[in-house]
Amino acid sequence: MKSKSLTALLIPFFGLILGDISYIIQTDDIKLNPYYLLISDIAFGVCGGFTAIMGLINSYNVRYTNVSERGIRISRYEATIAFAGTLGSFTSGVIREKIGYTNVFILILCIHLVCIIYTIVTLKMEIQNIELSSSNDEITTMKNFFKNLIKPLSVDGMEKKILVLLFIILAFELFIYGGINDIQFSYFLYKFAWGDKKFGIFNGFLMLFSGIGTLIIYPFLTRQFNIPSHIMAVIGMFNKIIFLILSVIITSDSWIYIIIIPNLMTRFVATGLRSLASINTPVDEQGRLFSMIELTQGITSLASSAVYNSVYPKTLSFFSGFMYILTATTYIIPLLITFKIHKMLNVLN
């Protein structure tokens, strides 16, 4: 089982390596059909994609953690992603200018190889059945596969209703997050005529401060004031609404950095929802739970990319900030659902 655990961790990285090699080959001729870029995505997706990597990391992250500390552990996980994104945003434009696309992808390939070596060397041998079922029969048919995947929702009573509502909010949040991220560069390019270097620096600051907020402010509020996970998610939603509105009404590229302030707490949404879902799921189902979450993120990311990238260009003729305002107003839906969860938790407690 231990060797299977290691194999399950390494398979997604194998897909990454194949994708990197494809990118390197394609950068040799920049005029190649852009649809060839999908080869890398397909290779990575077939091997599990980020759904597999993040699901495994998340499940192991909280599996051996006390219930009261799971929110803190997940906040650190979110902060790590933010800080990594910060580094990438700050350096990507500069590195690309200095060494070119081919060498950038060679560098990424080397980083992924280091990740594989690190995983092999440091894998903790006490991992047991986080990502794999104990029975081979469970994956012999597609029906059993999906039945096994949604097993975290098989809990009874109020916990099941809470988990279902949480997944609805998560799907909504991840859809919006992916959509806004997809059009953000185009939006600031249109509004302020920013290039990839200037936007990269700005986006780096956004990620940096969201990471700081998740790493410092989130644990402080939960420990000092005993604020529950779903209320932390609500705080994040209100900050996201402010962030989206300010992105539209601010017309100066110098003043736009003000949106960094509400961005401090925008990651509270995903952190709080993941934490509450983990708390309401049995320990032995944590792996499947986070696999479901990451699968939801993958599906909503594809859907949001198609929707936002299709609709956004059509709004430029009358109001470039339309998608931002529309997104902000639709947050009323997850807020109402969270209020429903709050009442259910009061009954449960």
- What is the average per-residue pLDDT within 153-162? 70
DSSP structural state of residue 319: -
pLDDT of residue 259 exceeding 80: yes
CB within 8 A of 118, min separation 6: which ones?
none
Average pLDDT, the chain: 83
Residue 180 has what pLDDT? 94
Establish if 133 belongs to a structural domain.
no
Q: Tell me the C-alpha distance between 178 and 308, whole Å.
A: 9
pLDDT 10s digits, 6-44: 677 788 888 889 999 999 998 887 777 777 877 888 888
Percentages (nearest 5) of helix, strand, coil residues in the chain: 85, 0, 15
217 is a domain residue: yes
For 113-141, the DSSP string reads HHHHHHHHHH--TT--SSSS-S-GGGGSS
Does the residue 123 lie in any domain? Answer: yes
Residue 264 lies in a domain: yes
Instruction: Establish if 60 belongs to a structural domain.
Output: yes
pTM score of the predicted model: 0.77
* Model confidence at 131: pLDDT above 80: no
Domain presence at residue 136: no
Q: Average pLDDT in the 311-325 region? A: 95
201 part of a folded domain: yes
Q: Give the span between the Cα atoms of 143 and 145, in whole angstroms.
A: 5
Please tell me the least confidently modeled range out of 139-148, 196-205, 299-308. 139-148
pLDDT confidence of residue 50: 74
Specify if 162 maps to a domain: yes
pLDDT at residue 305, as a whole number: 87
Residue (of 324, 307, 330, 174) closest to 256 by Cα position: 324
CATH of residue 212's domain is 1.20.1250.20
Cβ burial 266-300 (10 Å sphere, 16+ → b, else e): bbbbbbbbbbbbbbbbeeebbbbbbbbbbebbbeb
Task: Return phi, psi of residue 346, to 5°.
Answer: -65, -40
The reported pLDDT for the residue numbered 234 is: 97
How much is the pLDDT for 139?
A: 43
pLDDT of residue 93: 74
Give 155's contacts (C-beta < 8 A, 6+ positions apart): 163, 280, 281, 282
The number of folded domains in the chain is 1
By residue range, what is the domain housing residue 21?
A: 2-128+142-348
In angstroms, the first-to-last Cα distance of the chain is: 38
Q: Which amino acid would we find at residue 315?
A: T
Q: What percent of the chain has pLDDT over 90?
A: 39
pLDDT at 143: 53
d(CA 244, CA 181): 12
